[in-house]
Structure 1
Amino acid sequence: MKALLLAATAALLCAAASPPTLDTKAIAKSRFGNDAPWYENRIPFFESADPKIDAVYYYRWSLYRAHQRDLGERGYISTEFLDDVGWQLEPWASLNDATGFHLGEGRWLNDRRFADDYIAHMYNGGNDRHFTDYMADSVWGRYLVDGDRAGATRHLTAMRTLYGQWDDHFDKAKGLYWVEPLLDATEYTISSIDASGGQEGFTGGNAFRPSINAYMFANARAIAEIAALSGDAATARDYTARAADIRTRVERDLWNPALGHFTDRYKVDNQFVKYWEPIRGRELVGYLPWTFDLAADDRRFAAAWSHVLSPTELGGAGGMRTVEPSYQYYMHQYRYENGVFTGGRPECQWNGPVWPFQTTQVLLGMANLLDHYKQSVVTRSDYMRLLRQYTQLHYQGDALDLEEDYHPDTGRPIVGLGRSHHYFHSGYADLILGGLVGIRPRADDVLEVNPLLPDARDPQALAWFRVQDVPYHGHRVAVTWDATGRHYGRKGLSIEVDGRAVAQRATLGRLTVPVTRVALPPIDRPIDRAVQLKRADFPKGSASTADEAENVHDAIDGRVWFFPELGNGWSSKPTPAQQWYAIDLGKPVKLERAELAFFADGGHFAAPRAYRMQAWVNGTWRDLPAQADAPLANGITHAKWPATTTSKVRVMFDLTPNRAMRLVEAKLY
């Protein structure tokens, strides 16, 4: 460690040129339009020589923003689907299977509220174990970025409780965890299909899987680290031992020498499959031991990565296959939108289709492999090729719209259901910042950067990039790469901390610099008083037209997005010209401002020409003396007034002629 620090110190930058600076305000306006203010002081800004990577990077932040649901006093959570689905946890619309991706992305925000609220929600009744997850590991991963010790350690008791609840999926004789693939969020896998004799596979197929065991390994390791931060040495020793035991069992029992891959073993025993037998094919899930650094640095294990590079095995032309084409039921469609029969739009399956979900996990594992394993199977060129392949999945023609799963040969969406648009069960910003840029977050006071870019002569090379405003241990970090020096005026790789250049090298490679963590500012938590979580409860909405219950509810459901593919909010009739939307709070509440979100599509919907705020005072509606922004389409319109206590608020609108309006959300503070 001392040698690394000395090497970094020796590389301190003494260039005369000032560090390059991105015009973040202009970039935000260009990428996010009228909603730019939400992003300006929150996200790390990035640019590179690849315009598609740049576009998807910013699209993914708009995806993150759209999936923040405000629960009022409970704070914010991240949702997996934009709209409601039947298997979500009510009344919040939360699902625990995507928490790892949500926190992996959210840890890079300068506004720490979203991740902080979400973690508190999940450890306070929001995680019903509907699916497997690696929640504790995600909290530890967030700590590695922000360095907030109190934020990580306050949930230790809940982490241990949740971990212990998974004992109902632990086989003591084998020392491994098992799960039904459906509850691993991966229906129709080899184990579930074969356990049905090839007839079904939505349910069933209990198996000892690399996934759940990698998750439980990562959670145990994280609990050990967080317990050590708390000074709880006994718990640290206990969970360190648990993690070590899972690692031993996975490497010994889930490694399949015949297939050269980590694979499932059956927990179920029936006429089709036998307990403890391995499944008969390779699946993409076999790479998860690297995603969480479970797999040993062993060339025997590393050879498994050749399968994802092979076009006849897991390496599809359009994306990574979840199962190899040699499997008997590869890409056989079992389930459709309206039930298990042929016809209609196909539903989700894991017997071959490409999933951004597992693609992200594999790319995270590959980044680990390239960063700190000794192997010669995978190259940085492979990483960039597969990252670009994943980037392309986000495009539907020229439009950006990530869906649930894709055909491995064409890269085109398979499911195409209404719920599938802008799906958030994957990561991307985390891959760019931690992989391509190579920021490797650490628990100690060191910033480590190791970009996973190939040599400039490689066809997958990236000639230049810059990222800035990256939060790290209370500082803001920037990383710049310029292969020739012609783009930014400085050749090589350089690091800045709080605007000051601190390290540089002329070539790609690892840089480490000491960064003393600083105290983080308190999180600002204004509470939206207008959120209706249960349809029959207060607050309650009402409207002048189009007053169907669900249409009215959508304007106070805590969700804000402006994607045209999925409508959200109260959509009025186009006439009359004057209309209103009211919120009954059910009790007197002190209020002093509002945020209104209006959607416009250039056709049917337009922002109102004008509006005014009213409050229910002494049995009548009275105008509030508000300092109000002009109505803004596809962004946030603000209104402020002297603090007023009222039980009802109404917004009066003057509609644009011959246009309906859509009030995406009305928030009251």
Structure 2
Amino acid sequence: MKNNILALLLLILPSIAEAQLLSKDQYKHYIDRFNENDYELYRLGEYTNEKAWDFLAENIPFFNCPDKQLEETYYFRWWTYRKHIRKTPKGYIITEFLPDVSWAGLYNSICCPAAHHFMEGRWLKDPKYLKDYARFWFNGKSSPRAYSFWSADAIANFCKVHPDDPLLEELFPLLEKNYEAWEKDKLHENGLFWQYDNRDGMEVSISGSYAEPYGHGYRATINSYMYADARALERLAKKMGESQKETLYRQKAEKIKQNINTRLWDSNAEFFKVIPLGRNMSFSDIREQHGFTPWYFNIPPDSYSVAWKYLMDTNHFFAPYGITTAEQCHPKFIIAYEGHECRWDGPVWPFSTSVTLTALANLLNNYKQEYISKRDYWTLLSQYSHSHRIHFDSSKSVPWIDENINPYTGDWISRTRLKNDFETSWPKNKGGEERGKDYNHSTFNDLIITGLIGVRPSDDNILTINPLIPDQTWEYFCLDDLLYKGKKISICYDRTGKYYNLGSGFFIFIDGKRVHHSDNLAKVIINLESI
């Protein structure tokens, strides 16, 4: 009876049918401008610039808001992401660098940012690219453990958006073998996983300097990733009816979680820290940004939320152009233009910004705490957007994403180093000309979709939307044509009702039918089976 009433109500509620809330052509000017400003050094991807608009128009959700800098960055990051879709004899993969680099694996693949590739790319309508990419990592010739990579968790998160049980069943035994290999290589008898800082993708770190020359230690990063993969394998085992394996992976995950929370948490510093190997299990004396990683996977208890008071503190992590990788009050903190060009002892790295902001969205959604707010999330995301620039001269500034950022000037450090330190030409052994241009090492649009707009993917048929936009910040916004579990989702807010001509308030449409309206932004939970 209840379902019949709901069906009747949906028939009489206002509908947008199959029409778009947003006209896609109104956003083509962004792509045209990006193409115009681009000298397209590398044309190795499947979708070169002349194909960019057609590909994006068919595949991305469209976004509109009053902050045109943020809006531009949203389309810029989709424009750069599609450059990295490369077709190979093994199917589609996603690359980190556009030029081929000597330290990459098969077809220029690098697993270090691969989880970010899955998190960002899951919002493309066509799932074939990431299905191929998931298979690629476990084809026997790839290198899924060359760097830390939370592969099972990332693939499971992709399948929350594009459900695919046959793919998960196919990959399950391969993901198990991958997990076992990690345990064999990096699990100590004390129950903690260890990793080199550079194999975490975080070379020349301050904590790593205490374990020279290798920079290895028990790190919250690798332990959090292994927890996440164990949880993902637990859920996959349950889905497949393998109760013994479900129990096995649940127990593994619980043990790792306990070790993270009891052995990697420095209660005096109120932070997760590295224990460098060879230091008699003593903590390093530095808070580093990757100490926020456990919240990316909802590992810590509520009481540990005190760590977040350091994020917006200018003595610690907050700087004009982003979140520093090491706290600024430490004597070894440095912004250096010498030595290795990719240092993690101070500069801002979009890779870590992505992790921290995903973790912060989890904190704001799932924890009880008073240390940090939606306003802070908004500030950091806006700051991250503004960092996507480069100034070629006093008059020309264009959108840009590269490697590491000077937190005080916004300069792309490795680019400056590689361009200026070699008088004759860009060094080929380091990737050649503009190796970091359009660098695909982080997320941005996933932060807009799952954080700011608040689409929270789940394993079941529940759609949760919980916007993190602070009150009285925007007059309007719209995320349109988002594909989630095969359904078209449109989310919009219009304070006056004059912008989208739907009336005032907060609206959610599914497959063209209005399923929610409220005067103000609010958390909404929708059972898709009832739609």
TM-score over 0.5 (shorter chain): yes
Deviation at 1:217, TM superposition (A): 0.5
Which has more radius of gyration? 1
Q: For 2:178 and 2:250, how far apart are their aligned partners in 1?
A: 17
Match of 2:62 among 33, 42, 45: 45
**Partner of 2:332 in structure 1?**
329
- Which runs of 5 or more structure 2 residues have no equivalent in the other structure? 36-49, 392-396, 419-433
Deviates more, 1:429-438 or 1:230-239: 230-239
**Partner of 1:492 in structure 2?**
505
Q: For 2:366 and 2:248, how far apart are their aligned partners in 1?
A: 26
TM-score, normalised to structure 1, is: 0.70
Deviation at 1:151, TM superposition (A): 2.3
Deviation at 1:265, TM superposition (A): 0.8
TM-score, normalised to structure 2, is: 0.87
One-letter identity of the residue aligned with 1:480 = C
Match of 1:372 among 347, 366, 376: 366
One-letter identity of the residue aligned with 1:473 = K
Match of 1:347 among 336, 341, 351: 341
Asked if 2 retains the 8 angstrom alpha-carbon contact of 1:153 and 1:227, the reply is no
One-letter identity of the residue aligned with 2:246 = A
Q: For 1:284 and 1:224, how far apart are their aligned partners in 2?
A: 29
1:587-640 per-position Cα deviation (integer Å, ceiling 9, x unaligned): xxxxxxxxxxxxxxxxxxxxxxxxxxxxxxxxxxxxxxxxxxxxxxxxxxxxxx
**Partner of 1:654 in structure 2?**
none
Asked if 2 retains the 8 angstrom alpha-carbon contact of 1:12 and 1:503, the reply is no
Match of 1:165 among 164, 181, 188: 181
**Partner of 2:134 in structure 1?**
119
Match of 2:256 among 232, 246, 257: 246
Q: For 1:517 and 1:177, how far apart are their aligned partners in 2?
A: 44
Asked if 2 retains the 8 angstrom alpha-carbon contact of 1:134 and 1:218, the reply is yes
Residue 468 to residue 412, structure 1, CA distance change in 2 (3 Å): same
Deviates more, 1:283-292 or 1:186-195: 186-195
**Is 2:101 the partner of 1:98?**
no
Q: For 1:351 and 1:257, how far apart are their aligned partners in 2?
A: 23
Alignment of 1:259-658 (within 5 A): 259-267=269-277, 269=278, 274-296=279-301, 298-299=302-303, 301-331=304-334, 333=336, 336=339, 347-397=341-391, 398-416=397-415, 417=418, 418-456=434-472, 461-489=473-501, 490-516=503-529
What SS does the aligned partner of 1:462 have? coil
Deviation at 1:440, TM superposition (A): 0.3
Q: For 1:218 and 1:479, how far apart are their aligned partners in 2?
A: 30
Deviation at 1:378, TM superposition (A): 1.0
1:415-469 per-position Cα deviation (integer Å, ceiling 9, x unaligned): 114211111100011101101110001111111111111111xxxx222111112
Asked if 1 retains the 8 angstrom alpha-carbon contact of 2:176 and 2:233, the reply is yes
Asked if 2 retains the 8 angstrom alpha-carbon contact of 1:335 and 1:347, the reply is yes
RMSD over equivalenced CA pairs, Å: 2.4
Residue 244 to residue 11, structure 1, CA distance change in 2 (3 Å): farther
Asked if 1 retains the 8 angstrom alpha-carbon contact of 2:509 and 2:515, the reply is yes
What SS does the aligned partner of 1:118 have? helix
Asked if 2 retains the 8 angstrom alpha-carbon contact of 1:179 and 1:212, the reply is yes
Residue 261 to residue 9, structure 1, CA distance change in 2 (3 Å): farther
**Is 2:65 the partner of 1:81?**
no
Deviation at 1:412, TM superposition (A): 2.0
One-letter identity of the residue aligned with 2:150 = Y
One-letter identity of the residue aligned with 1:392 = H
Deviation at 1:11, TM superposition (A): 10
Deviation at 1:153, TM superposition (A): 2.5
User: Going by fraction, where is helix more abundant, 1 or 2?
Assistant: 2
Give aligned-pair identity as a percent: 31
Q: For 1:45 and 1:178, how far apart are their aligned partners in 2?
A: 41
Match of 1:132 among 141, 144, 148: 148
The higher-RCO structure (CA 8 Å, 6+ apart) is 2
Asked if 2 retains the 8 angstrom alpha-carbon contact of 1:147 and 1:517, the reply is no
Q: For 1:335 and 1:419, how far apart are their aligned partners in 2?
A: 18
Residue 21 to residue 262, structure 1, CA distance change in 2 (3 Å): same
Deviation at 1:317, TM superposition (A): 1.8
What SS does the aligned partner of 2:177 have? helix
Deviation at 1:205, TM superposition (A): 2.0
**Is 2:46 the partner of 1:36?**
no
Asked if 1 retains the 8 angstrom alpha-carbon contact of 2:192 and 2:223, the reply is yes
**Is 2:221 the partner of 1:206?**
no
What SS does the aligned partner of 1:407 have? coil
Residue 195 to residue 70, structure 1, CA distance change in 2 (3 Å): same
Asked if 2 retains the 8 angstrom alpha-carbon contact of 1:474 and 1:517, the reply is no
One-letter identity of the residue aligned with 2:84 = H
What SS does the aligned partner of 1:77 have? strand
- Which runs of 5 or more structure 1 residues have no equivalent in the other structure? 197-202, 337-345, 519-669
Asked if 2 retains the 8 angstrom alpha-carbon contact of 1:11 and 1:505, the reply is no
One-letter identity of the residue aligned with 1:488 = Y
One-letter identity of the residue aligned with 1:113 = K
Deviates more, 1:236-245 or 1:408-417: 408-417
Residue 503 to residue 173, structure 1, CA distance change in 2 (3 Å): same
Q: For 1:517 and 1:113, how far apart are their aligned partners in 2?
A: 28
What SS does the aligned partner of 2:318 have? coil
One-letter identity of the residue aligned with 1:24 = K
